[in-house]
Amino acid sequence: MTNRELVSLAEKAMENAYAPYSLFKVGAALLTSDGEVYTGCNIENISFGATVCAERCAVFKAVSEGKRSFLKLAIVSSSEDKTFPCGICRQVLAEFMPDGEIIIKNGEQEEVYTVSELLPHSFDNKF
Ligand code: THU
């Protein structure tokens, strides 16, 4: 699975975004270590705090299906600028794919970051 293919699956997932409040659509596509892809989109709620981001949607779909090992996550949005994952999503990414790559694409721009670049010094104390 190339980065371009993963981005294109994220673009397809973005079509399902439910974003009537922000009008800001986001799509994500997550590649598992065993070669499967789980997609996600943002799903908003009139009680704004109940909104879930596209990234967490994809990760939680995969985890709920028993997947635990992830290689790459592609993120696209309806914005002209690159969309970086929010703080809560970064913590979720650090939990499930600390060594993973995040591909962020908008228009002609496409960049790859490690999760630790996006969330350095993440909370990971064992208790
Ligand atoms: N959103 C995401 O889905 N992912 C991000 O990385 C940033 C924000 C969504 C949440 C909300 O539906 C909309 O974008 C505006 O914040």
Task: For residue range 65-93, list pLDDT tens digits in order.
Answer: 999 999 999 999 999 888 999 999 999 99
Look at residue 90 and tell me if it is in a domain: yes
Atom 10, ligand 1: which residue's CA is nearest? 53
Find the catalytic residue in 11, 44, 55, 101.
55
For residue 87, give Cα distances in angstroms to 8, 49, 91, 92, 122. 24, 14, 6, 9, 10
Residue 24 has pLDDT above 90, yes or no: yes
Residues 103/81/96/41 CA torsion (nearest 10 deg) = -100
Query: Which CATH number fits the domain that encloses residue 97?
Result: 3.40.140.10
Q: For residue range 90-127, what is the model confidence (pLDDT) as tens digits?
A: 999 999 999 999 999 877 879 999 999 999 998 888 88
Which ligand 1 atom is at minimum distance from the Cα of 84? Answer: 6
* 111 is known as an active-site residue: no
pTM of the predicted protein model: 0.96
Look at residue 124 and tell me if it is in a domain: no
pLDDT at site 86: 98
Atom 5, ligand 1: which residue's CA is nearest? 85
Overall number of domains in the chain? 1
* Residue 56 contacts residue 88 (beta carbons within 8 Å): yes
pLDDT at site 116: 95
